[in-house]
Chains A and B, each alone.
Chain A
Amino acid sequence: MTVNSTPTSEGLEIRNLSCTREDRTLFSGLSFHLTTGHAIQIEGPNGSGKTTLLRMLCGLRLADKGEIYWNGCDISEERGAFLSNLNYIGHAHGVKGELTPLENLRVSQAMAARSNSLPLDDALEKVGLLGFEDVPSRTLSAGQRRRVALARLLINPAPLWILDEPFTAIDIQGQKQIENMITQHVLDGGMAILTSHHPLDLSEDHLSRVNLAT
């Protein structure tokens, strides 16, 4: 793999990324470039380092080797600029059980750099939580709590979505809704990276796959 000069390109570029965990190499020499209007689906068996890769891409974990660039700048140097363009939903999705879905969203909205004009009630309605705005999230099912987390994607207009198994615990109808949200976002010029075994309804032009097992 050749490493050329500093990148100037738009989007998220990964160069020669490696990860070792306790002497075991999870992946090495991983390079890809995500530009606007594209999605990348990370595939691989359990324990192949999918979540670790996503955490590296967010800067939550340091890369053992390799670089990650956002719009041509190293994400560890231009952290603020990168984070204000990022929407991350991890495995632990950060929905507080003691707060209602509405309160959870209100906090997320305050934490974000910008927010769009979509009212929070509408965001909850779009993820199928109409009528559950004011009950403690603790009493919701696992799938409903994940929907609360996914509603964050609608209120924060950040272009880059990094989603770790977004379809976990969500029913078939909901999976379709979430899938529509993701494809719509990509077609509108957004970017998405997700780990999932769920096939996405996007043409080859918009979707690429990265397999960590090979």
Chain B
Amino acid sequence: MTNSSLSKAFIAIIKRDLTLALRTRSEIANPLIFFVIIVSLFPLAVSPEPELLKTMAPGVIWVAALLSTMLSLDSIFRSDFEDGSLEQMLLSPHPMPILVLGKIIAHWLVSGLPLIFLAPLLGVLLFLPYDAMPALLATLALGTPVLSLVGAIGVALTVGLRRGGVLLSLLVLPLYIPVLIFASNAIATAAADMSIKGQLYFLAAMFALALTLAPLATAAALRISLR
């Protein structure tokens, strides 16, 4: 087995998952619409006061991003588990963590990346100052991959259970909290015109940690779930 056949398998996995996502469009659209709905309901329900919305905006956008990611997590492995594709993947001679990373990247491309494009519009809706927009984009760019990576561990652990939904949220939510705190704090700090280097470094560190360890943990968890 050569490196080129491994990279071929890695690309094939990403392509396959993206094709599947495109053919079941309503499944990808659902979490994104959910994201837009949560954020856009706040001005209606709380108050249309710009000052109030401005202070709430970072938190609201990030909570919505987090919830909508959780809504889409199950799709990473659920259908593959049910139709036996996951078994085939485990029986591939290629290293499982690399294949898993391919699946996670595909998940982020259809569920995390669109959030980054939608977020500035929602920021405008909530009167987020323009100075804070780069911070919003930077935190989402560093934070949403962490959500996908960490979420994959949770899904891998619960995919074999009949009703893993509640357990999944309980497992994954505590690990999402640090991302939420640092990200929303960074945006609020940027809105107050202060440096956000510290928060961004922390998010980047979490991203690096998740990127290196989550595929290994997910592969191990899948092996246990299929047993």
Contacts and interface: CB of A to CB of B under 8 A. Distances in A.
Interface of A: 58-62, 80, 83-84, 86, 88, 90-99, 103, 106-108, 110-114, 136
B84 A91 contact: yes
Contact of A83 (B13, B83, B92): B92
Contacts, number: 78
Given A92-B83, A94-B83, A96-B85, A111 B9 contact: yes
Contact of A110 (B12, B82, B91): B12
Interface string B72-99: 0000000000111111111111100001
Contact of B16 (A80, A91, A99, A136): A99
Contacts of A60: 87, 90-91, 226-227
Interface in B1-42: 1, 5, 8-9, 11-13, 16, 19-20, 23-24
A81 to B, nearest CB: 8
Main secondary structure of the interface of A (DSSP, over half): loop
B159 to A, nearest CB: 13
B227 A96 contact: no
Nearest to A106: B12
A91 B5 CA distance: 27
Given A92-B82, A111-B94, A103 B227 contact: no
Given A93-B84, A107-B13, 8 more contacts: A80-B1, A91-B84, A92-B84, A94-B83, A99-B19, A103-B16, A107-B12, A111-B92
B88 A113 contact: no
Nearest to B79: A96
25 contacts: A59-B91, A60-B227, A92-B83, A92-B87, A93-B84, A94-B83, A95-B83, A96-B20, A96-B85, A98-B19, A98-B23, A99-B23, A103-B16, A106-B12, A107-B12, A107-B16, A108-B88, A110-B8, A110-B12, A110-B13, A111-B88, A112-B92, A113-B1, A113-B92, A113-B94
Contacts of B8: 110
Contacts of B19: 98-99, 103
A95 B16 CA distance: 12
Interface residues of B, number: 28
Contacts of B89: 111
Interface of B: 1, 5, 8-9, 11-13, 16, 19-20, 23-24, 82-94, 99, 226-227
B217 to A, nearest CB: 18
Contacts of B227: 60-62
Contacts of A99: 16, 19-20, 23
Contacts of B5: 113-114
B88 A83 contact: no
Contacts of B87: 60, 88, 90, 92, 94
Nearest to A145: B83
A90 B82 CA distance: 12
Contact of B93 (A95, A106, A113): A113
Nearest to B89: A111
Question: By CB atoms of chain A within 10 A, which of B9, B11, B24 has the most?
Answer: B9
A55 to B, nearest CB: 8
Contacts of B82: 92
Given A84-B1, A110-B8, A94 B88 contact: yes
